[in-house]
Amino acid sequence: MSEATPGNALFDRTAELAREERPFAVVTVVRTEPPTSASPGNRAVILPDGSIEGWLGGGRITPAAREQALLALASGESRFVRITPDESPASPGIRVVRMTCTSEGSVDLYVEPFLPRPTLLVAGDSPVAKTLAAIAPPLCFRFAALGTDEAAEVPNPADTWMVVATFGGYDEDAVEAGLRLGLRYVGLVASERRAGSVLSELRARGHTDGELETVRSPAGVPLGAGGHAGLALSIMSEVVSLRAERRPSLARQTEETPEVSGTATDPICGMTVEVAGARHVTEHEGRNYYFCCAGCLREFESSPGKYSATA
């Protein structure tokens, strides 16, 4: 984790990450109850690899903040988090991270994920493709074009929506590029006969019917609007509707903490502990165990067999 970062520099950093279409979370300390090293207004940026830029506080605050930031990035939703030894029921809308160290105070965090804009990936140089290029940005989509010999590169495949409008130019290769990215939507602008031919060719290339379920043809929803502009509008309407329904993020929504290199789980309380520089470590039967505080270490050492069996 980096040293404390001045507020303006941290905001400059978030602006840089946003320009680069990189996901990150901002964690802010909003309230504290002593004793704690955290102060209201402390703020840090946390990246998907678990690295932290900025300062939140010492003790268990940093590993708990990392866990919650990664979960927020995975779900795409902001969250309020309370880190506390208090056993009283949680308030509505607040996730509670319990600590076993009763000598520490409580800290309330606000965790806000920032994800790349959704990407509209379009193959083809047809009037439909050109119209999509014009209407995607006002709808807050990042527009990307896929040429005949280009590899598709997108910042977040889970929130990338592909339209193939080559009109027979390189339909098979374009759809296959979308399948290889694992996209959840590949809209094929083609007649029923042409679409059947494309799917048959992709099956011959080894793609399963399960993979091909993401291919939609005809692309778009019925709007009654004609011409290439009407078709582009119907396709964009379908994409926006599906995105609202599926609420894509960096990963499927889960309450399982994503793994972070260089961390270990405290077998007593379940907190994530940074291995590098860990102060509370013990060895049992040839394996190192890491703890968030001296209290958890003492609890483990009092009955190591009880906890090592489940760690």
Neighbouring residues of 221: CB distance < 8 A, sequence distance ≥ 6: 234, 237, 238, 241
* Mean pLDDT, range 242-250, rounded to an integer: 80
- 265 pLDDT higher than 70: yes
Residue 91 shares a structural domain with residue 157: no
Structure confidence at residue 299 (pLDDT): 85
User: What is the value of pTM for the model shown?
Assistant: 0.68
Mean pLDDT, the chain, as a whole number?
86
Q: Which of 93, 115, 137 is the last residue of a domain?
A: 115
How far apart (Å, rounded) are the C-alpha atoms in residues 53 and 6? Answer: 11
Residue 153 shares a structural domain with residue 228: yes
The reply to whether 257 falls in a domain is no
Model confidence at 292, pLDDT cuts 50, 70, 90, reads confident
Residue 127 shares a structural domain with residue 206: yes
Structure confidence at residue 157 (pLDDT): 86
Residue 296 shares a structural domain with residue 224: no
User: Any idea which of 38-47, 92-101, 257-266 has the lowest mean pLDDT?
Assistant: 257-266
Q: Range of 208's domain?
A: 119-246
Residue 43 shares a structural domain with residue 99: yes
Residue 14 shares a structural domain with residue 80: yes
- 256 pLDDT higher than 60: no
The reply to whether 106 falls in a domain is yes
Residue 73 shares a structural domain with residue 127: no
Q: Which of 70, 94, 115 is the last residue of a domain?
A: 115
Residue 123 shares a structural domain with residue 242: yes
Residue 18 shares a structural domain with residue 83: yes
Structure confidence at residue 253 (pLDDT): 37
Residue 190 shares a structural domain with residue 217: yes
Model confidence at 306, pLDDT cuts 50, 70, 90, reads confident
Residue 108 shares a structural domain with residue 202: no
CA 305, distance to chain mean position in Å, is 37
The reply to whether 1 falls in a domain is no
Model confidence at 251, pLDDT cuts 50, 70, 90, reads low
The pLDDT tens digits of the residues spanning 179-205 come to 999 999 999 999 999 999 999 999 999
The reply to whether 252 falls in a domain is no
The reply to whether 2 falls in a domain is no
Residue 15 shares a structural domain with residue 103: yes
Domains contained in the chain, number: 3
